[in-house]
């Protein structure tokens, strides 16, 4: 039997050695779409967008115009603020030279207070200081060129002592010269106290006046203090030394004491009005009681003489002094920067602190009502 030769299995050599890596310095070949796999130069992809050339910048007119408008708007505001803060009115204007026979004009505008006057600022209302007013009245009394004085009153009142002080100075001036009163929007309480001393009173038909009375208000905050846990300790010497203490109710004895003071000042008010207006005391008591009157109502009650404005009062002053219907008028008050931008007899600008603690001939109602009812007096020019 023949034996077949043994077939040896074929051994395939497997090259297990890794392929030699390309040199690091040699970049892999790149191909383009057109070369169909053939090596070619690398192709850079197109950019996503092509930046445009920067526009040529001209003069910034927008910023220039906007800045100019803003500057023009802020400059007057800054001037008003600085002027109202730095140039307060006070006393007689020393620069006023009375070259010929004239009518003197004294403005009593705002709350009547003791001391000097302050002009109205951007954030405050004007006040009528008794010392300032008296200084102007005294200057008019001593100046032979001032033949008469017109008082322009636009005030809801104020301090009882200051009002009485000015009232007495007006009486002193009356001994030598005529004093004509012109009422603006409001001439109530202390404002009427001063007006009653004049020789003749002019009021607009819708002027608010009268309010012959005295007021004293003190808050009782005991309930509020209890809610917020506030405690106050008072050490005093004298039974009534802490009268008006807001941390406790007022006692009956304290109320009686204050009522006596209010009644006494009220009697002084009535006596002054009766003297100034030459009205019997009984009649004054009848029309007083703190009542507010319009100009027309006040004329019927005998509290004013004529219905008219500032120009009417000036014409009358010129007539009684034989200076004619259009006399020369000299403003005796100092003008502040604010006054230069507004007529010196501008309307009453408001009452920030109408309810003070103390004894006042002040009517806070008059200011509130006058905002919607009283006319604007035509300023003297």
Q: Which residues are catalytic?
A: 189, 241
Cβ–Cβ < 8 Å for 215, 306: no
345-200-137-293 Cα dihedral, nearest 10 degrees: -60
Cβ–Cβ < 8 Å for 185, 152: no
Q: What is the DSSP letter of 70?
A: H
Cβ–Cβ < 8 Å for 151, 182: yes
352 SS3 class: coil
Tell me how far CA of residue 377 lies from CA of 186, 198, 204, 295, 311, in angstroms: 10, 19, 8, 13, 10
DSSP string, 14-52: P--SPPPPPPTTSPPP-B-GGGTT-B----PPPPSS-PP
Q: Closest Cα to residue 151, out of 116, 112, 199?
A: 199
Phi-psi region of 306 (alpha: psi -120 to 50; beta: other; left: phi over 0): beta
Count Cβ atoms below 10 Å from residue 1 Cβ, excluding itself.
Answer: 2
Cβ–Cβ < 8 Å for 298, 191: no
Report how far residue 339's alpha carbon sits from residue 92's, in angstroms, rounded to the nearest whole number. 14
User: 285: exposed, middle or buried (C-beta count within 10 Å: 0-12, 13-18, 19+)?
Assistant: middle
Report how far residue 55's alpha carbon sits from residue 234's, in angstroms, rounded to the nearest whole number. 78
Report how far residue 372's alpha carbon sits from residue 374's, in angstroms, rounded to the nearest whole number. 6
């Amino acid at each position: 039997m023949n034996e077949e030769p043994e077939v040896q299995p074929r051994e395939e050599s497997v090259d297990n050695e890794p392929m030699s890596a390309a040199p690091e310095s040699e970049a892999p070949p790149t191909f383009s779409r057109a070369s169909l796999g053939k090596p070619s130069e690398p192709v850079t992809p197109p950019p996503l967008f092509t930046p445009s050339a920067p526009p040529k910048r001209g003069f910034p007119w927008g910023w220039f115009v906007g800045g100019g408008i803003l500057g023009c708007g802020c400059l007057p505001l800054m001037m008003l603020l600085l002027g109202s803060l730095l140039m307060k009115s006070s006393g007689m204007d020393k620069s006023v030279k009375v070259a010929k026979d004239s009518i003197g004009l004294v403005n009593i505008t705002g709350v009547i207070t003791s001391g000097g006057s302050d002009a109205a600022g951007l954030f405050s209302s004007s006040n009528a200081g008794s010392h300032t007013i008296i200084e102007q009245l005294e200057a008019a009394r001593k100046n032979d060129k001032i033949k008469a004085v017109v008082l322009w009153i636009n005030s809801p009142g104020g301090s009882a002592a200051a009002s009485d002080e000015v009232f007495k100075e007006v009486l002193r001036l009356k001994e030598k010269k005529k004093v004509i009163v012109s009422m603006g929007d409001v001439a109530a309480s202390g404002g009427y106290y001063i007006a009653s001393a004049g020789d003749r009173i002019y009021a607009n038909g819708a002027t608010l006046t009268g309010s012959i009375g005295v007021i004293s208000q003190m808050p009782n905050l005991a309930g509020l203090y209890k809610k917020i846990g506030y405690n106050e300790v008072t050490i005093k010497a004298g039974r009534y030394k802490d009268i008006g203490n807001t941390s406790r109710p007022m006692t009956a004895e304290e109320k009686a004491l204050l009522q006596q003071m209010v009644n006494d000042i009220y009697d002084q008010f009535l006596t002054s009005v009766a003297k100034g207006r030459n009205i019997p005391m009984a009649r004054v008591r009848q029309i007083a009681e703190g009542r507010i009157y319009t100009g027309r109502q006040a004329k019927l009650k005998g509290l004013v003489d004529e219905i008219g404005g500032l120009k009417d009062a000036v014409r009358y002053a010129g007539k009684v002094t034989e200076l004619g219907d259009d006399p020369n008028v000299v403003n005796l008050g100092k003008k502040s920067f604010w006054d230069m931008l507004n007529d010196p007899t501008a309307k009453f600008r408001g009452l920030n602190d109408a309810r003070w603690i103390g004894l006042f001939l002040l009517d806070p109602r008059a200011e509130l009502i006058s905002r919607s009812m009283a006319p604007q007096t035509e300023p003297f020019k």
